[in-house]
Amino acid sequence: MATYDYRCKSCDKYIPVDRSNIKVGDEVSFTTTYQTSNSARFSSKTGKVIDIAGDICEVVVKKKSYFKNIRDVTPDDAPNPLTYALFGLCKCNKEETPNDI
C-alpha cells in the first residue's frame, strides 16, 4: 500500500513524517479551516506542491493555490493523524524533533 514504511521496526508505532522529504511535484494533503456563522469547519484537501520557499509551500488544488507551512502538510501516502492517534507515535528519535506534536 504505502510506498514508504512509516512503521517503526523497534517499537511498532508510527514514525513522524519527515517533512524535509517533501519536494516540488509531490502530492500532499492538508486540512483547511473555515469559519461559518457559528462554528469552525475542517476540510481535508489533497493537491500538488508547486513551490517551496523556506517553511512555506504552495499547494495547488483544482487550480487554486494554498500557501501552507510545511509542517501543516503531509505526504499523500503518509498515515493520517487518526492513524497516529490509534496506533501511537514512535518516540525512538524524539530528541531529533523536540517541537513535534
2, 24, 60, 92: which one contacts Zn ion (CB under 5 A)?
Answer: 92
CB closer to Zn ion out of 21 and 69: 21
Other beta carbons within 10 Å of 29: 17
3-state DSSP of 69-93:
EHHHEEECCCCCHHHHHHHCECCCC
For position 90 contacting Zn ion by CB under 5 A, the verdict is yes
Query: CB of 15: closest distance to Zn ion in angstroms?
Result: 7
Q: Which residues bind Zn ion (CB under 5 A)?
A: 8, 10-11, 90, 92
